[in-house]
Amino acid sequence: MIQVGQSLPQAVLSLRKNGETKQLSTHELFKGKKVVLFAVPGAFTPTCSNSHLPGYITLADNLKAKGVDSIICVSVNDAFVMEAWGNSQNAEELLMLGDGDASFTIALGMDKDTGVFGGVRSMRYSMLINDAVVEKLNLEVAGMFEVSDAQTMLDQL
């Protein structure tokens, strides 16, 4: 599992916006930037939709005022699902990225197998990344939502 002080692995994530799907490398997303990244087990799921994503939407301006260049939400879903979820939540200030094959999540060591419920999914976490290096890592205990929220990240900045 990735640790504070380590560089992010090379991977490709998908963004769907304005009718286009783009493949974005971790290099272009994180190199030379201060980024808040948070990951959720699945789009449109209860805690993710009712608490996790809305907190980052609400505090986006506050996070950016602290020098954050971008706020990225990642889930092991395809780009179409992430776009629809972002649109349904008015997440214009965030990049809603799909990790459709879970390759980024697996490379981070943040994957979990939920079996027939949903297959490989991401653990719930947040990170502060500076120039592609992890500065803060807030990993949730399975089934909890206490440390990866937007307010905790804002407090850490």
Just list the catalytic residues: 48
Contact 96/73 with Cβ under 8 angstroms?
A: yes
| 8-state DSSP, 10 | P
Largest CA distance in the chain: 42
CA gap 148, 37 in Å, rounded: 10
Contact 34/69 with Cβ under 8 angstroms?
A: yes
